[in-house]
Chains A and B, each alone.
Chain A
């Protein structure tokens, strides 16, 4: 009941979707549309998992007076404040909710990711020092591609954009294609393991 029925649901639905792909019949298509509607209704409740998890982590930090616990209040206040703004004034353009998104979320997200430019540069220096044939190839390919994407590359020599395009179209394509083949085999194997009930970790742990 607690574990077997969910496993059976996955198994039956999984088999039905495998069959659905090969049976372009109206019944099969209706089943797919029906499932999509049901899925959207169920998924709308899933947001509670993220909210609950975040609140649990930060309320625990506050309770235990863990290091930097005061900032957990800030996280909770930001969560409640942003949500409240959306529920009270709506989520259309020009509302406080969108003001928070444009002036808090968007700049913080962009800055957070732009910080990675500095750390990638220092990590690249440590990792790419041309100590072997492989590291040298990686370093040269990265430099050519970086130069080829900006105007200075063309200013150095007209060949750099052409070499960049060749790297992307030939050796890079070969590598991506082989990796895609491996990923495809992995995805197929994992999907089959889930459908057949071999892979069960998504159901969570616990004794029940």
Chain B
């Protein structure tokens, strides 16, 4: 019984959302506002049962790990974010959370810069490796603005744009296919689970 009601509710909401393809209308607004509220409502118990209870409540109140009172009190500072007078207290939990950016310095240097440079500096033994090398260098030079993009140098940097455009095209193609597979999933739900027209 609940499964049938669930399918009808999901079908109604799916069609309400698709109605935006015609134009903005009350059904779409209904579905949109419901989605925002239900999504936020989903995360409150999820965070409570999966983060707060195992990492804050149980260690502090059941296992009596009293050191955790400190982050517990600091975390409560978030609640003052909406206060005009005590809003500054919310900066403390934010500051403790931001400390982790320290790891970002060596990690981004390693993963995003050194590893990428190392994989680029392979012996140029075939045409593909030569193309990858030329593409990467020309794109990097395209974003180097301390030298005017003119003459032979300008022509070389414009090769970087061509490589970027092919890359963006590939990313776009991938994204479109991902969205289309979601669309196919919704149509399969409407025609199969709801109307039973396809098996």
Which residues of A are in contact with B by a Cβ distance under 8 Å?
A: 2-3, 5-7, 9-10, 12-18, 20-22, 35, 37-52, 54, 56, 68, 71-72, 74-83, 85-87, 90-91, 97, 99-118, 120-121, 124, 133-135, 137-146, 149-150, 166-185, 187-188, 191-192, 194-195, 202-204, 206, 208
Contacts and interface: CB of A to CB of B under 8 A. Distances in A.
Sorting the interface of chain B by its residue count into under 10, 10 to 19, 20 to 34 or 35 or more gives: 35 or more
Contacts of A208: 87-88
B37 A112 contact: no
Contacts of B160: 178
B173 A142 contact: yes
B105 A108 contact: no
Contacts of A168: 170
Given A17-B99, A79-B41, A203-B94, A47 B47 contact: yes
Contacts of B42: 82, 86, 97, 100-101, 105
Interface of B: 2, 6-7, 9-10, 13-14, 17-18, 20-21, 29-49, 51-52, 55-56, 59, 68, 70-72, 74-79, 81-82, 87-88, 90-109, 111-113, 116-117, 119-120, 128, 131-136, 139-140, 143, 160-177, 179-180, 182-183, 185-186, 189
B174 A115 contact: no
Contact of A175 (B7, B29, B119, B167): B167
Contacts of A176: 167
A106 B44 CA distance: 17
Given A18-B106, A120-B179, A187-B112, A83 B21 contact: no
A142 B94 contact: no
20 contacts: A6-B95, A14-B102, A41-B75, A46-B97, A48-B79, A54-B40, A71-B33, A99-B2, A107-B14, A111-B14, A111-B18, A115-B17, A138-B169, A141-B173, A142-B172, A146-B173, A170-B131, A181-B136, A184-B113, A191-B105
